[in-house]
Chains A and B, each alone.
Chain A
Amino acid sequence: MKKYFNYIALPALALGLVACEPEFENEIEDGTVYTNGEANFSSYVAVGNSLTAGFADGALYITGQENSYPNIMAQQFALAGGGEFTQPLVNDNLGGLTLGGTQITNNRFVLATDENGNPGPALLTGTPTTDITNVVTGPFNNVGVPGAKSFHLVAPGYGNVAGVPTGQANPYFARFASEANATVMGDALAANPSFFSLWIGNNDILSFATSGGAGVDQTGNFDPTTYGPNDITDPNVFANVYSQEVSLLVASGAQGALVNIPDVTSIPFFTTVPSQAIPLDATTAATLNAAFAAYNTQVLPGLASFGIITADEAAARQITFAEGANFITIQDEDLTDISAIVQGPPFNLDPITAGLLSQLRQTTNDDLVPLTTAGVLGTTDQDFLNLLVSLGIPAEQAALQAINGVSRPLQDQFVLTSQEQELITTAQTQYNATIQALAQSNDLAFVDARSALQVVANGGVSFNGGVLTSDFVTGGAFSLDGVHPTPRGYAFTANAIIDAINEQYGSTIPGVDIGSYGTVTLSNDVN
Chain B
Amino acid sequence: MKKVLSVIVLLLVCAVTYAGGYRVSLQGQRGLAMGHTGVAYVNSAEIAFFNPGGLVHLENKLSISVGGFGVFSDVKYQNTEFGTSSQTDSPTGTPLYLYAAYKLSEKSSVALAVYTPYGSTVEYPTDWSGSHLVNSIELSAIFIQPIFSTKLTEHVSIGGGPILAIGGVNFNRNLSRSLADTDGNRSNVEIDASGVSGYGFSVGAYAQFSDKWSFGVNYRSRIDIEVEPGDGVATFSNVPNSPLAPITNGDFDFTATLPLPAEWTVGVTYKPTDKWVLNADVNYAEWDRYNSLDLNFLNTDGSVALESINPRNYQNAWTLRLGAEYSVSDKFALRGGAYFDESPVQEGFFSPETPRNDSFGFTGGFSYNVTQKLAIDASFLYLAFREVDASYDAYTESGVEAPFAGTYRSSAFAPGLGLTYKL
Q: Which A residues are closer than 8 A to B by beta carbons?
A: 1, 4-9, 11-13, 15-29, 33-34, 62-63, 66, 76, 79, 93, 110-113, 117, 119, 124, 464-466, 487-488, 509-513, 515-519, 521-525
Closest to A487 in B: B178
Which one of B217-225, B266-274, B306-314, B380-388 is at the interface? B380-388
Which residues does chain A contribute within 8 Å of B362, judged by CB atoms?
Answer: 15
* Of B75, B365, B411, most A-chain CB atoms within 10 Å: B411
Does B105 belong to the interface (CB within 8 Å)? no
A4 touching B328 by the CB < 8 A rule?
yes
Which residues does chain B contribute within 8 Å of A517, judged by CB atoms?
Answer: 178
B7 touching A9 by the CB < 8 A rule?
yes
Q: Looking at the assembled complex, report how far the CB atom of A510 sits from the nearest CB atom of chain B, in whole angstroms.
A: 4
Partner of A24, one of B1, B76, B82, B415: B76
| Cα distance A21–B79 in the bound complex, in angstroms | 18
* Interface bin, chain B: 35 or more
Does B346 belong to the interface (CB within 8 Å)? no
Which residues does chain A contribute within 8 Å of B181, judged by CB atoms?
Answer: 521, 523
Which residues does chain A contribute within 8 Å of B79, judged by CB atoms?
Answer: 513
Does B182 belong to the interface (CB within 8 Å)? yes
| Cα distance A9–B5 in the bound complex, in angstroms | 9
7 closest A-B pairs (Cβ-Cβ)?
A: A465-B402, A19-B413, A63-B184, A518-B178, A522-B242, A20-B14, A22-B409
Does B401 belong to the interface (CB within 8 Å)? yes
Which residues does chain A contribute within 8 Å of B401, judged by CB atoms?
Answer: 465
| Cα distance A510–B406 in the bound complex, in angstroms | 14
B74 touching A26 by the CB < 8 A rule?
no
A510 touching B398 by the CB < 8 A rule?
no
Partner of A515, one of B242, B334, B366, B402: B402
Q: Looking at the assembled complex, report how far the CB atom of A219 sits from the nearest CB atom of chain B, in whole angstroms.
A: 42
Which residues does chain B contribute within 8 Å of A23, judged by CB atoms?
Answer: 76, 409
Which residues does chain A contribute within 8 Å of B410, judged by CB atoms?
Answer: 22
Which residues does chain A contribute within 8 Å of B85, judged by CB atoms?
Answer: 27-29
B242 touching A9 by the CB < 8 A rule?
no
Does B299 belong to the interface (CB within 8 Å)? no
Closest to A108 in B: B182
B83 touching A66 by the CB < 8 A rule?
no
| Cα distance A27–B241 in the bound complex, in angstroms | 41
Q: Which B residues are closer than 8 A to A by beta carbons?
A: 1, 3-4, 7, 10-11, 14, 16, 72-76, 78-85, 129, 177-184, 240-245, 328, 332, 334, 362, 364-366, 380, 382, 385, 387, 396-398, 400-403, 407, 409-413, 415
| Cα distance A511–B84 in the bound complex, in angstroms | 10
Closest to B187 in A: A522
Partner of A513, one of B82, B240, B366: B82
Which residues does chain B contribute within 8 Å of A93, judged by CB atoms?
Answer: 182-184
Closest to A93 in B: B183
Which residues does chain A contribute within 8 Å of B334, judged by CB atoms?
Answer: 4, 7-8
Partner of B7, one of A12, A18, A26: A12
A513 touching B180 by the CB < 8 A rule?
no
Closest to A465 in B: B402
Closest to B72 in A: A19
Partner of B182, one of A18, A465, A523: A523
Which residues does chain B contribute within 8 Å of A4, judged by CB atoms?
Answer: 328, 332, 334, 366
Add 16 more A-B contacts to A29-B78, A522-B244 (CB < 8 A): A4-B332, A13-B7, A16-B10, A16-B11, A21-B76, A22-B385, A22-B411, A23-B409, A28-B78, A62-B183, A110-B182, A510-B82, A511-B82, A513-B79, A518-B178, A519-B178
Given A15-B382, A517-B178: A113 and B244 interface contact (C-beta under 8 Å): yes
Partner of B242, one of A17, A76, A511, A524: A524
Partner of A9, one of B3, B82, B387, B403: B3
Q: Looking at the assembled complex, report how far the CB atom of A507 sits from the nearest CB atom of chain B, in whole angstroms.
A: 12
Give 24 pairs: A residue, B residue, CB < 8 Å, sorted on A.
A11-B364, A12-B380, A16-B413, A20-B411, A22-B75, A22-B385, A22-B409, A26-B80, A63-B184, A111-B244, A124-B182, A465-B177, A465-B401, A466-B400, A487-B178, A510-B80, A510-B81, A515-B402, A518-B180, A521-B180, A522-B245, A523-B181, A524-B241, A525-B182
Given A13-B7, A113-B243, A522-B240: A18 and B400 interface contact (C-beta under 8 Å): no
* Of A19, A27, A33, A62, most B-chain CB atoms within 10 Å: A19
| Cα distance A518–B174 in the bound complex, in angstroms | 13
Q: Looking at the assembled complex, report how far the CB atom of A207 sits from the nearest CB atom of chain B, in whole angstroms.
A: 28
A513 touching B84 by the CB < 8 A rule?
yes
Q: Looking at the assembled complex, report how far the CB atom of B409 sits from the nearest CB atom of chain A, in whole angstroms.
A: 4
A8 touching B178 by the CB < 8 A rule?
no
Closest to A488 in B: B178
A21 touching B74 by the CB < 8 A rule?
yes
Partner of A20, one of B16, B183, B332: B16
A66 touching B74 by the CB < 8 A rule?
no
Given A24-B387, A28-B85: A15 and B3 interface contact (C-beta under 8 Å): no
Partner of B407, one of A6, A9, A24, A524: A24
Which residues does chain A contribute within 8 Å of B364, judged by CB atoms?
Answer: 8, 11-12
A24 touching B403 by the CB < 8 A rule?
no
Which residues does chain A contribute within 8 Å of B183, judged by CB atoms?
Answer: 62-63, 93
Which residues does chain A contribute within 8 Å of B129, judged by CB atoms?
Answer: 513, 516
B244 touching A119 by the CB < 8 A rule?
yes
| Cα distance A16–B382 in the bound complex, in angstroms | 8
| Cα distance A12–B411 in the bound complex, in angstroms | 15
Which residues does chain B contribute within 8 Å of A22, judged by CB atoms?
Answer: 74-76, 385, 387, 409-411
| Cα distance A19–B361 in the bound complex, in angstroms | 12
| Cα distance A398–B277 in the bound complex, in angstroms | 106
| Cα distance A332–B327 in the bound complex, in angstroms | 102
Q: Looking at the assembled complex, report how far the CB atom of A110 sits from the nearest CB atom of chain B, in whole angstroms.
A: 6
Given A24-B409, A466-B397, A524-B241: A19 and B14 interface contact (C-beta under 8 Å): yes
B16 touching A21 by the CB < 8 A rule?
yes
| Cα distance A76–B80 in the bound complex, in angstroms | 11
Given A24-B409, A518-B178, A521-B182: A5 and B3 interface contact (C-beta under 8 Å): yes
Which residues does chain B contribute within 8 Å of A511, judged by CB atoms?
Answer: 81-82
| Cα distance A119–B245 in the bound complex, in angstroms | 12
B402 touching A464 by the CB < 8 A rule?
yes
* Of A15, A26, A117, A523, most B-chain CB atoms within 10 Å: A15
Which residues does chain B contribute within 8 Å of A466, judged by CB atoms?
Answer: 397-398, 400, 402
A28 touching B402 by the CB < 8 A rule?
no
Which residues does chain B contribute within 8 Å of A20, judged by CB atoms?
Answer: 14, 16, 72, 74, 411, 413
Closest to B85 in A: A28
Q: Looking at the assembled complex, report how far the CB atom of B290 sits from the nearest CB atom of chain A, in whole angstroms.
A: 25
Partner of B400, one of A21, A79, A113, A465: A465
Given A19-B382, A516-B129, A517-B178: A24 and B78 interface contact (C-beta under 8 Å): yes
| Cα distance A524–B1 in the bound complex, in angstroms | 66
